[in-house]
A and B are shown apart, each in its own frame.
Chain A
Amino acid sequence: MGKKAVGDFTVISNRKLNQSNFLLKLAAPGRLPDISPGQFVNVDIKNAKEIFLRRPFSIFEADYSNNTLSLIVKILGRGSKVLTEINEGDKISLIYPLGKSFTIPTANEKILAVGGGSGVAPLLFLAKESKLKPENVDIILGARSAEDHIQVDEYKKFANLHFTTEDGTLGAKGFVTHHPVFREKLNTYDKVYACGPDAMMKAVAKEAKAAGVFCEVSLENLMACGFGVCLCCIEPTQHGNKCVCTDGPVFNINDLKWQI
C-alpha cells in the first residue's frame, strides 16, 4: 500500500512554449516519490464545464531537490485547454506516479528517441535520466512546421538533437522516419524509443522492426482511472488485452499486435 498517491500540487509556473504547448511546473504536496521516464500523472481538471474524468499527462521533468514536477500540456481538447489557463499559486490534484517507464538503457548503449508533438516530454526526460554520453543519444523531433517545435535547446547537453518538419522550415523535410538517421544508421542503435501520434509511432516501429532493433513506444489510449481498475484503455497484445495505464504506457513493439 501507499505506492500511489492523490495529492494537491501547487502551480509554480505555467509558461507558453508555442501556439499549442504549455509547460506546467508543479510543486508536490510533500516529498516527490521516485519517478521514471515514461511514467505519467492523471490530472483533475477543476471548474471545467462537462469535464468529469481526469486527463493523463507524461512527466517531462522531476526535480527531487525542489520536489517539483513538470508537464508539457498540448491543447488537444477541452480538458487540456482549461489546464493551459491555470495560474501560479493554483492547486491541481494529481494521481501519481502511474504506469511503467521506458527500459532505461545500460551504460555505453546507443539510443535513438523519436518524438512528435508533446510526445517529446518523456523522451527528453529519458535522455536526461539515462546518463549516457550525449554523443550516444540521438533525438529526432518531428512537427508540421518550425513554429510547432518546442524550444528544447537545453537538452543539447544530453543528446544530439535533430529536427524534421513536414514543410521543411526546420531540419530535414518530411516525417521523422524521413530523417537520414533512419536510412544511414538505424541498426547501430541498441534501443529505439518513440512517443507521439499513433501514425508516427507505427512508422518508427516499422523501421525498427525491419532493422531488428529493440523498440519501445508509449501509447495514449483513452483512459478513465489511470491505475488499472476501469479496463477502458486496453491495447491488444500477444498476451491478451493489456491496460495501457498499468501494463504500459510503454510497450515493446514485439508485444503489440500492430500491423506493421
Chain B
Amino acid sequence: MADLSVKIHKLNLKNPVMLASGTCGFAEEINDFYDVSQVGGIFLKGTTLRNRDGNEYPRMAETASGMLNAVGLQNKGVDYFIETTYPKIKDYNTPLIVNVNGSTVEEYIELTEKINELDKIPAIELNISCPNVKEGGMAFGITCPGAEAVTREVRKVYDKTLIVKLSPNVTDIAEIAKAVEGQGADSVSLVNTFLGMAIDLATRKPLLSTITGGLSGPAIKPIALRMVWQVAQAVKIPVIGIGGIMNTADAIEFMLAGASAVQVGTGLFKNPFIPLEIIEGMKKYMEEHKLNNITDLIGGLQM
C-alpha cells in the first residue's frame, strides 16, 4: 500500500498535494466540487489585519501558458475571517494554513497573534512575496535583512509551524531561504509569482490597472523548478514547491528537485480537480516504480 504521507515540521500531511493561497479561496469554493479533506493541505487566501479592497479592474491578463494577476490581496480582514469564515471551514479534515500579510512588521505580528489563537490552524504561511501591493508584501521578501526581520519577529510570537513564502523576483533565492531558515522558519514555500506585464496593442495601454502584475501558470514552471532545486540544496528545512503545476509529472519533478510537498495554484482555475488527479497519479507512479513511501522521491534527482 503506497504511503503518500509527508511531514512539514509538525504538520503531518496525508499526501504532499496542497492548494496554493490565492487560488482556492477559503476552501469552501473548492469544497463545492469535491470533499477537500482529500488534499494534503489548504493555503487560504492571503489575509491582512484589516479589510482590503484590492486593486482596480482589470486585474488579470491571459498570457502564453499562463496569466498575470494584480488582485492586490483583496480580503475582508482577519477579524471577519475569525468570526465568519473560520467557523465554517475549521472542521475540514486537512490542515488549513493561513497566508499572513502585512505592510509593516508590527502588522505581521498582530495578525499572527490573532491566528495563533485558532486551534484548527496548525501553521501559517508568511507571505513576504506578494508583488501586487504598494507597501510591505514583496518589499520584505527581496532582501535578506527584510526577510530576516519579519521572520525573526513573527517567530517570537508563534510556536506552531511557520512557513515562509518566497519571492522569485530576487538575484539569489537560496540566500533568502537561508536567511529565513536562520531566523527560525520551519519551512519555505516557493515560488510566488514573477513580476510581469502585458500591453494592449489597440489602446497601447497596459492590460493591468497596476501596469505590472504577477505571472503564474505553466509558463513559470521550469524557473520555479530550478529555484526549488537550488533552495533545497541550500537549506535543511522542508521545501514546498509551487509554480505552474498542472499534472502528476510536474508535481513529481518538484519532489525530485527537493520539494517535500507541492502546491497547485493557477492550475485550479483551469480544473479544480487537478490535485485529486495528481494524488491518483502519484499512487500509480509509486506502484510502477515499486516505491512504498512518497518521501523516497524527495530530492531523488539523479545526476
Q: Residue A260 at the B interface, CB < 8 A?
A: no
A246 to B66, CA, bound (A): 22
Q: Residue B93 at the A interface, CB < 8 A?
A: no
User: Quick one: given A1-B33, A241-B74, are A52 and B270 in contact (CB under 8 Å)?
Assistant: yes
- In the complex, chain B residues whose CB is within 8 Å of the CB of A53: 62, 67, 269-270
User: Quick one: given A1-B31, A1-B34, A53-B67, are A235 and B269 in contact (CB under 8 Å)?
Assistant: no
Considering the complex, which residues of chain A in the window 229-251 have a beta carbon less than 8 Å from any beta carbon of chain B?
229-236, 240-241, 246
- In the complex, chain A residues whose CB is within 8 Å of the CB of B51: 240
Q: Residue A152 at the B interface, CB < 8 A?
A: no
Instruction: Across the interface, name the chain A residue whose C-beta is closest to B19.
Output: A229
Q: Which of A60-68, A178-186, A216-224 interfaces with chain B?
A: A216-224
- Max count, chain B CB within 10 A of own CB: residue among A51, A93, A227, A246: A227
- In the complex, chain A residues whose CB is within 8 Å of the CB of B59: 231-232, 234
Q: Are A231 and B74 in contact (CB under 8 A)?
A: yes
A1 to B272, CA, bound (A): 13
> How many A-B contacts at CB < 8 Å in the complex?
101
Q: Are A52 and B67 in contact (CB under 8 A)?
A: yes
* Contact pick for B54, options A4, A50, A231, CB 8 Å: A231
30 contacts between A and B (CB under 8 A): A1-B35, A2-B32, A3-B32, A4-B32, A6-B33, A52-B64, A52-B66, A52-B270, A53-B269, A53-B270, A93-B271, A95-B271, A95-B272, A224-B269, A227-B33, A228-B29, A229-B23, A229-B25, A230-B22, A230-B60, A230-B269, A231-B45, A231-B59, A231-B74, A232-B59, A232-B60, A233-B60, A234-B57, A241-B53, A241-B74
Considering the complex, which residues of chain A in the window 181-235 have a beta carbon less than 8 Å from any beta carbon of chain B?
221-235
Q: Are B33 and A2 in contact (CB under 8 A)?
A: yes
- In the complex, chain B residues whose CB is within 8 Å of the CB of A224: 60, 62, 67, 69, 266, 269
- In the complex, chain B residues whose CB is within 8 Å of the CB of A231: 22, 45, 54, 59, 71, 74
B32 shortest CB reach to chain A, Å: 5
Q: Residue A100 at the B interface, CB < 8 A?
A: no
- In the complex, chain A residues whose CB is within 8 Å of the CB of B29: 227-229, 246
Chain A interface residue number, banded = 20 to 34
Q: Residue A25 at the B interface, CB < 8 A?
A: no
B-contact bits for A33-59, CB 8 A (1 contact / 0 none): 000000000001000001111100000
- In the complex, chain A residues whose CB is within 8 Å of the CB of B270: 44, 52-54
Q: Residue A104 at the B interface, CB < 8 A?
A: no
Q: Residue B65 at the A interface, CB < 8 A?
A: yes
Q: Are A234 and B74 in contact (CB under 8 A)?
A: yes
- In the complex, chain B residues whose CB is within 8 Å of the CB of A50: 64-65
A258 shortest CB reach to chain B, Å: 13
A44 shortest CB reach to chain B, Å: 7
